[in-house]
Structures are given as C-alpha cells and as structure tokens.
Amino acid sequence: MREPFSRRDFVSGVGRCALVTAGAGLLPGLPVNEPVAASVVQKGLIGRRASPYFTPVGNGEVRCELCPHRCRIETGQRGRCGVRENIDGELWTVAYGNPCAVNIDPVEKKPFFHVLPGSKTLSVATAGCNLHCKSCLNWEASQTRPEETFNYDLPPAEAVTRAERYGCRSIASSYVEPVVFIEYMLDVARLCRGGSLLHLMHSAGFVNQAPLDDICETLDAACIDLKGFTEELYREEVEGNLQTVLATLVRLREKGIHTEIVNLLIPSKNDDPETLRAMCRWIVEELGPEVPLHFFRFYPRYLLKSVPPTPVPMLEEARTLAMEAGLHYVYIANVPEHPGKHTHCPECGTLLIERVGYITRVVSLEEGRCGECGHSVPGVWLAGTKAPRTQAESSP
C-alpha cells in the first residue's frame, strides 16, 4: 500500500504535469503535448476511403447510415458532419489517416478514471462532427472540414508505431466526435488487437447500432458524454436526441464494454436537481451502480460565452444526489485539487486512487480490488485483462 500525496510530491509533480498537459486546448495541426506525429503536416491533406455505411436511394443519391441524421447526399455533396462525401454514387470518408490533432495525454484527461491509471494515451482526432454543441471545447476542429485544418499524414500503422514508441498504453479516439472518422478509427483499433495497446473512445454516443456494433468489436473502454436528460436540451443545445445516446449506453453494457459517463454541468441549461436525479436513477437501473460518472465544471466558451462557470457547490450537490441515487463512483472534474476526483472503495471507504491535477497515484488497489477489504472495483486495470484478439483485418 502506498501513502497519499505529500506536499513535496505535489510540488515536484507540477512540472511533470505541465509538460504533459501544456496547451490543453485543441490547436488543430499542432501536437500540443509532445511531437508525436509524422513529418508531413499540411492544410487540406485529404485521405479518402470508401465507406460501407450508406444506402443508394436512386439518381446517384445516397443515404448515410452512420448516425440518426441519415443524411441524403447528392453526388459531389457532403453530409452534416462535413467529412462524408458522395463520390459517383458511393459514400466516402475524406477524413481517413489525416488527423488534425495527435497528442500524448494522461488517460485521466479523456477522462478515464478506471482505465490503466497514470498511463499515457495517444489521442487522435480529425476535423468534423455530426453534432453542433453550443458548449463545444474543440469547435475549431469539430465545426469545420478537413480541407480547412492543418492535418498530419498518419496512416493507422504509423499511429500504432508512434504510440508504442512514446510509451503509451492506449490509443484514444477523442476531442471531436470519433464516429465521423469511424473507418480510420477501426483500422487503428484493429492494429491494436493482441498487442500492448488498448483502444479507447470518447464519444457523444450519437450513432446507429450497426456501426456501433462494429466499434464494439475493437473497443476496450468508452467514455460517453451524456449532455443532459431531456429531449429539449438535446434538440436546442446539441442538435441530436437523447434516446439515441441512451440506446448507445445500453448497447455498450450489453457488449460488456467498460463505460464511463461525463455530464458537463451547465448553469441554467442542465442543472435542474430533479432531472439530475432522474438521470442518475436511470444509470443505476439500466447500466448498474458501478458505472463511473464524472460531473464536469463548465467554463464559458464557443456559443455559451455569456453563461457563467459552474459553481463548485452545484457540482458537489450533483455528486451528493448521484450517490444518494445509488451510484458508487461519482467524480467532480475540471476543479483542480478537488477531493471529488479521488476513488474510494464503496464497501469500506478506503482511498484507492488519488489524483492531483493529472498526477495520479494508486494508493490501495491491487489487481482491481480494494487493498483493504478485497472489494472488486470495475475497470480495466491491466492491459492483458481483455480476451485475446486476432490479428487486424483490413476494413472495406
């Protein structure tokens, strides 16, 4: 068992944390943490790949089957996400192998608190998104097209090589909505099979079941943004729908994928206590009490610059009601040094994992069990705990 952080530990770790997390905001085309991308970086570097997720509807028009928008796309046009184009009556992605962000991050930044704590992950994102969240942190990339960002020439095999070279233990499809670059994500993930790297995904969960099932075949853990618990909020603030996201969460549970949930708590938007209680009760009843839930503090950005930051007491109240609803692991995020970032055993209360900024220390957790009482804690604690996988296949 390890001792908790001392002041000396924290001070000495600040420099390391700064090196790992410098430039935490997304700067398209720039490796904000460490220079891990290939040498070719240029604006409008387009990587095309045929997509299987469409249906011809006649007269050269196609219907995209990737997400519930089901865009009908004429020849030479693109869907709402800006990265899926009708080329001669077939659907192609124009965001294959050309990410606009390639960074080394702490896995806790995704945030995954129950996946290989303290490890590094290679985060990858392309331009484009199938939603339009007014609170988007990375809107410079998500609300644009690949030809408008500076992009890396980073084929799947090179992404895996870079991740291994820099000591990462996972590759995370992150920052923007990874569903829109699913073909690239799947090829990267298939190359992780049977090796030392996990495949992680941070998504808003707005995806149809067939492509979601394909993702699950290569996925070790998912972090899903549950942006609120009303259709009104999803319609007005996100341009999506709640039921699809709930169906995604249920499907991930059915597939046995370790899942963590993020709720960005925005004052006057999704902070109603009764709605939060209903959300937490749904998580307990449909997914189980051991699903980690992260309440994130909102800061003014993008189209919500006039909305004030989330008061810390509001986050604490949300955490309390979530635990009263029966959730075992509820975290407060985006508040430096808040004790709500630590993991405690729900059985005996022992401190299991301590987090200060992005510095993480495992205090009393042994192979996924509490070091004091032996209570099993959900998560991916060892890279080899997943069932062996076959070698990577080539996608269509």
**pLDDT digits over 156-172, tens only?**
999 999 999 999 999 99
Between the two ends of the chain, the Cα-to-Cα distance in Å is: 49
- What is the helix (H) or strand (E) element at residue 213, kind and residue range? helix 209-216
Give a yes or no: residue 227 inside a domain.
yes
- What is the helix (H) or strand (E) element at residue 209, kind and residue range? helix 209-216
CB contact at 8 A, 268 and 135: no
Give a yes or no: residue 87 inside a domain.
yes
The domain of 299 spans 7-43+99-385
What pLDDT shows up at residue 113?
A: 98
Mark whether 200 and 284 lie in a shared domain. Answer: yes
Give a yes or no: residue 394 inside a domain.
no
The overall pTM is greater than 0.85: yes
pLDDT in tens, 42-77: 888 788 999 999 999 999 999 999 999 999 999 999
> CA-to-CA distance for 54 and 78, rounded, in angstroms?
13
What pLDDT shows up at residue 388?
A: 32
What pLDDT shows up at residue 39?
A: 52
> Going by C-beta distance under 8 Å and a sequence separation of 6 or more, which residues neighbour residue 8?
none
- What is the helix (H) or strand (E) element at residue 64, kind and residue range? strand 61-64
> Going by C-beta distance under 8 Å and a sequence separation of 6 or more, which residues neighbour residue 275?
228, 229, 230
CB contact at 8 A, 227 and 204: yes
Q: What is the CA radius of gyration of the chain?
A: 20
Mark whether 224 and 335 lie in a shared domain. Answer: yes
Give a yes or no: residue 272 inside a domain.
yes
Mark whether 39 and 54 lie in a shared domain. Answer: no
> CA-to-CA distance for 200 and 124, rounded, in angstroms?
10
Question: Is 6 exposed, middle or buried, given 0-12, 13-18 or 19+ CB atoms closer than 10 A?
Answer: exposed
CB contact at 8 A, 259 and 222: yes
Confidence bin at 383 (pLDDT 50/70/90): low
pLDDT in tens, 364-379: 999 999 999 999 999 9
φ, ψ for residue 219, nearest 5 deg: -105, 135
Mark whether 207 and 248 lie in a shared domain. Answer: yes
φ, ψ for residue 39, nearest 5 deg: -75, -25
Mark whether 69 and 210 lie in a shared domain. Answer: no
Instruction: Provide the 8-state DSSP code for 21.
Output: H
> CA-to-CA distance for 97 and 218, rounded, in angstroms?
18
- What is the helix (H) or strand (E) element at residue 243, kind and residue range? helix 242-254
* Region of residue 265 (phi > 0: left; psi between -120 and 50: alpha; otherwise: beta): beta
What pLDDT shows up at residue 233?
A: 97
395 pLDDT higher than 70: no
By DSSP bridging, strand 293-297 and strand 330-333 are parallel
Task: List Cα–Cα distances, 319 to 117, 316, 325, in angstroms.
Answer: 22, 5, 10
Give a yes or no: residue 392 inside a domain.
no
CB contact at 8 A, 372 and 348: yes
384 pLDDT higher than 80: no
Confidence bin at 11 (pLDDT 50/70/90): very low
> CA-to-CA distance for 247 and 53, rounded, in angstroms?
19
Give a yes or no: residue 166 inside a domain.
yes
337 versus 200: the higher-pLDDT residue is: 200
Mark whether 89 and 38 lie in a shared domain. Answer: no
Mark whether 69 and 150 lie in a shared domain. Answer: no
> CA-to-CA distance for 141 and 143, rounded, in angstroms?
6
Q: Provide the CATH number for the domain around residue 246.
A: 3.20.20.70
Our count of domains for the chain comes to 2
CB contact at 8 A, 70 and 91: no
What pLDDT shows up at residue 43?
A: 87
> CA-to-CA distance for 167 and 209, rounded, in angstroms?
34
Mark whether 204 and 298 lie in a shared domain. Answer: yes
- Kindly report the average pLDDT of the chain as a whole number: 88
386 pLDDT higher than 80: no
Give a yes or no: residue 327 inside a domain.
yes
Look at the block and give the residue holding tokens 């992680």. Answer: 200
> Going by C-beta distance under 8 Å and a sequence separation of 6 or more, which residues neighbour residue 384?
none
> CA-to-CA distance for 86 and 1, rounded, in angstroms?
57
Mark whether 61 and 158 lie in a shared domain. Answer: no
Last residue of a domain, one of 60, 93, 126: 93
Give a yes or no: residue 274 inside a domain.
yes
Last residue of a domain, one of 93, 127, 151: 93
Identify the CA nearest to 130 among candidates 180, 175, 202, 74. Answer: 180
Mark whether 165 and 86 lie in a shared domain. Answer: no
Mark whether 187 and 294 lie in a shared domain. Answer: yes
Mark whether 340 and 255 lie in a shared domain. Answer: yes
Last residue of a domain, one of 93, 109, 126: 93
Average pLDDT estimate for 101-116: 96
CB contact at 8 A, 238 and 132: yes
Confidence bin at 40 (pLDDT 50/70/90): confident
Average pLDDT estimate for 128-139: 95
CB contact at 8 A, 219 and 256: no
What pLDDT shows up at residue 46?
A: 84
> CA-to-CA distance for 80 and 72, rounded, in angstroms?
10
